[in-house]
Structure 1
């Protein structure tokens, strides 16, 4: 049942606490994380629109990406198919015109936004590992504050402060400063803040500063992905004032905001979290039938199970609404993770019994105070998550609201949510648990750190650190297999209104030439190899700039395909370019790579996007290269790939610093 305790007593305590707040001159300094002079969404109306690339340019970029992957004869076939597609009478011309016309009629958004949402929400594969990535925090520099309940309280309070600042439009707008010394200033904020919103972006541009799309930010809170047959839906209820806490597979909620929208005092929030711990201490390590495991299921199966769960009892429907509407999920794990691999395993997937993977994000804190964000990906991308990630780390560590000696005085009021289960539901849960255990047991995680080589060396040698990192992946795979394969690197297009991501294709003719040379028994001279690395860096830099400016080919071809799928002319058969084996192969991303740069990130990881692939999360520090590689043996050997990667960086370092 739902254990509401003495609800009237709770309301009385809430009223008393609110009154006490006012009488003690409670300050905005506690209620809000930031108080920006420039409104949060000030630049949003004037953001440039995501461009649709020229069809001829997309064809050229697509063929350039295919060339290192195909034999000469296969490339010739693909080249002819592409020429036919984009030719005067080709299917691409009509589809492109339709896409452009549709875009002109929907100037409030981008051409990729809706189909990209649909792509995520229509995919039926389970969320954990396949879609939900993680970002792991570094520890609080003050070790005394890494005690689980202390860190959880401080990060929870900082999260609510972030949310309130966002909704009050006083969170600093997200801006990329090309030269922070000249633009990240009071003058910049004064000038751009005085400009009308419809022209504010242009004012920022004069400072060589680029405001980023913030349309995804509101979806961080009170949001949940709900499974439906065929296509999921995103749910949000911004009126809810409670947070969801999971511990030992049990569900608890308590309000973090009072009736007037003020954050409860730190001592009250700490008391509530301590109450959750004391209530769950009497529970077994995991319930016999953990309901959270259902969020690990294939989405149609989960949709059917959720419908049945609601039908068992109105109590279950009420509990699900409270889970869905919670600000976010705060997960307290009752175990310590010794070592980097167990830490990543726990945060990326765990055993599923103490998780709710459908929430917009979960803040997970283990027994030793290690913390991470695990987020659902359909609603948004790295820009929004990383901003939240960074801001709450800084706030919780520089302005901790509770301390190891903080005393709790108020009587906590926590609600435990219980679900009524029939035998059919218990069987579904048991099967889901078994299937999830099988999947997670097959996932392999390998970690590599390469000290002494990072941004500093690359900058000194005038090559891009990201290009060098990506080159290392190419060399390593070539060492391991003697081949080149489709490679995906995510690039944000948040410089545009409702931008999402574009794909950088790091496997190029330049990287192919270097791989074959460096892995040859007859290597060219060091000076020749240095020249090849610089060429790789130049090509990669151009690809990165194009992708960031919405000038890749992947999203354009994706958008055209979505139109073709509903076009009467192609109802029986898609245009030949989409039936070409080369198109399927380049979208079978054996190497899927991504990085988010922040001094507060200890690690980032995600699963392979194909069974015979590698999921490669990486970090580039000043004097260290780090990567976390996920794989599914026997389809791929992650340990061997990491060994090859280490040798690759040794080779590249030797060439660069010779």
Structure 2
């Protein structure tokens, strides 16, 4: 696509003309894989991995058959990207619980409003965004003259992940089963474990006014004032491992003649609003509740759930399978571009009386009630077994790094590695999410952060015999390498997802393709070590959020969600409680590292 003057101004107008995600060759991915995993391995482990890679890439290896099948798929009419099948298997194929393990959250800035007013304002602003989206009036994102994929916006409203025995599916508009934007008129509202349908559009399809929406929320709070009985809040079931939830969902459908229609209402609703009684004592408490909270008051499979606490503090919990942070950030920024009053007016809201509110009450068997109770207890135990921490820096931001002549993201990743080494005595595999939305249906690329340059930097910073000049040189070399690798990932030059998809093709189609021979690469120390995260990092820069976070990805991993703004930095950390102490040490060392590295660069200016 050439020239910004040729770009469409319609939301999805540029998507079909975006370039395709490049498909690497087997040779390219093998070379990059060895480069990426090498720093994490001993000499013997690297030798074993190299042997597995040579076997993988040899002439006649099943890898070439699998890659040929992938290339053929990529060239098939109607296929947007060679990753079109990968993403559903990656996200929808996971079998553990998504609550806490996969969903992510943002904590919004504070607003002076009551709980009902804050909820109504978020609803009105979201409905305004939907009106723009439905008419393709959300301006498409263009970065440095390059249009970005807007496709994920189709999954913001009326999208629900559906549990499956083997793999989950997604119910969403803009699909063959549900063409065009959602025409649903209702949202879900949770209060004290009670679930309600609330109509936010009147019979003529116009949104209710802001005052009417607040009246609707207050009506929910009146009717739902008595907390739900133990074993009655079906939302608990969405915390279960996916195959188990699939079985419970079928039992729920079978448990009463009205249940299928009620479940349909839940799954087709535009989004959730969760009204929590809790008044968070601080931002840390609010973040933890946004990550997991009271699962009686959640439906974790909904794409978007606004959570509003008793004092009006608010945030969002997002189901990740079709939505990445960049899309949700743009949505959140749009919610706060103007006042809720202005959004309501611009959405075409008209006065039409208090919104219709109706409880959604499933018929439940004793077995289902026991199932719900068990799910609640299990999830509460995992939440209690998750340790978290906040860091906030008012004296460091992206502008600080830029003034010091270094990439802000590279600065942060170097600080993470130095802090982790000081906390745990090693540099382990580190994941960073890199956006690739300049491609058709582009999402993210998996970047592995640890490089030889980064190792030399950490060694220099932890060796008393290395002087400041050598440390500074090592720091800048590590940062330059990080920037170079990030750029490679942004342009699809990364090995992990390509090799992973070849593995998945063999699992799905190996027999059909005559490619069943086991591939040692996937059992090699390099493959296993590179993907075993010690740190999982992701950035969400927005002036409209205070914190961003997610759960850790393994029993030893620290999840690092950070909001890096021009003048401030805010970080949310999470890890399993058995390894909490090293995380707390990491947090302390991270504060030290940020100050130390800033001073190091400043002294050389």
TM-score scaled by length of structure 2: 0.92
After superposition, the C-alpha distances for 1:325-360 in whole angstroms (9 at most, x for unaligned) are: 100001111111111221111100012111010101
Shift of 1:489: 0.2
Provide the residue aligned with 1:187 in structure 2.
Answer: none
The answer for the alignment partner of 1:153 in structure 2 is 120
**2:36 alignment partner in structure 1:** 65
**Aligned-partner SS, 1:353:** helix
Whole-Å separation in 2 of the counterparts to 1:106 and 1:62: 30
* Residue 43 (structure 2) pairs with residue 43 (structure 1): no
Confirm whether residue 221 of structure 1 aligns to residue 157 of structure 2.
Answer: yes
Following the alignment from structure 1 to structure 2, what is the Cα–Cα distance between the partners of residues 314 and 623?
Answer: 57
Which of these residues, 555, 576, 595, is aligned with residue 539 of structure 2? 595
| Counterpart selection for 1:435 from 362, 378, 382 | 378
User: Are the equivalent residues in 2 in contact too, given 1:564–1:570 (CA < 8 A)?
Assistant: no
Cα contact 1:286–1:353 (8 A) shared by 2:
no
Look up the match of 1:358. 301
Match of 2:487 among 525, 540, 545: 545
Partner SS for 1:399: helix
Q: 1:633 to 1:624 in 2, by over 3 A?
A: same
Residue from 82, 86, 94 that aligns with 1:111: 82
Between the aligned partners of 1:602 and 1:360, the Cα distance in structure 2 is 21
1:94 pairs with 2:44? no
Question: How far apart in 2 are the matches of 1:49 and 1:409?
Answer: 47
Aligned Cα root-mean-square deviation (Å): 2.1
Q: Is the 8 A contact 1:175 1:210 kept in 2?
A: yes
Task: State the 1:174 CA deviation.
Answer: 2.2
Once the two structures are superposed, what CA deviation does each residue of 1:378-403 show, in whole Å capped at 9, x if it has no partner?
1221232111111012234583649x
Q: How does 1:243-392 map to 2 (within 5 A)?
A: 243-281=187-225, 283-284=226-227, 289-392=232-335
CA distance in 2, matches of 1:620, 1:385: 16
Residue 248 of structure 2 aligns to a residue whose secondary structure is helix
The answer to whether the 8 Å contact 1:244/1:328 transfers is: yes
2:489 match: secondary structure: helix
Query: What is the CA–CA distance in structure 1 between the aligned matches of 2:502 and 2:164, rounded to whole Å?
Result: 26
Whole-angstrom CA distance in 2 between matches of 1:66 and 1:409? 62
Cα separation, 2, equivalents of 1:161 and 1:607 = 31
* TM-fit CA distance, 1:173: 1.3
Report the Cα offset of residue 545 of structure 1. Answer: 0.9
1:129 Cα deviation from its structure 2 partner: 1.0
Q: How many residue pairs align between the two structures?
A: 582
Tell me which residue corresponds to 1:85.
56
Q: Say which of 407, 415, 426 aligns to 1:464.
A: 407
1:491 to 418, 428, 434: 434
Match of 1:535 in 2: 477
Deviation, structure 1 residue 505? 1.4
| Per-residue CA distance 1:527-569 (angstroms, 9 max, x = gap) | 1111111111111111111111111111111122122222237
CA displacement at 1:278 relative to structure 2: 1.6
Specify the SS of the correspondent of 1:369. coil
Task: Specify the alignment match of 2:177 in structure 1.
Answer: none
SS at match of 1:363: strand
Residues 297-324 of structure 1 show CA distances to partners (whole Å, capped at 9, x for unaligned) of 1111111111111111122222111111
TM-score in terms of structure 1 length: 0.85
Q: 1:84 to 1:288 in 2, by over 3 A?
A: closer
Change (3 A) 1:556 1:106: farther
Contact 2:233/2:372 (<8 A) preserved: yes
1:362-390 Cα shifts (integer Å, max 9, x gaps)? 01111111111111111221232111111
For the pair 1:585 / 2:525, whether they are aligned, the reply is no
* Alpha carbons 1:590, 1:612 under 8 Å: kept: yes
Q: Distance in 2 between matches of 1:67 and 1:409?
A: 65
Q: Which of 1 and 2 has greater Rg? A: 1
2-side partners of 1:491 and 1:454: how far apart?
20
2:439 aligned with 1:503 = no
Q: Give the alignment partner of residue 559 of structure 2, picking from 585, 600, 615.
A: 615
Structure 2 CA distance for partners of 1:106 and 1:501, relative to 1, 3 Å: farther
> What's the secondary structure of 2:445's corresponding residue?
strand
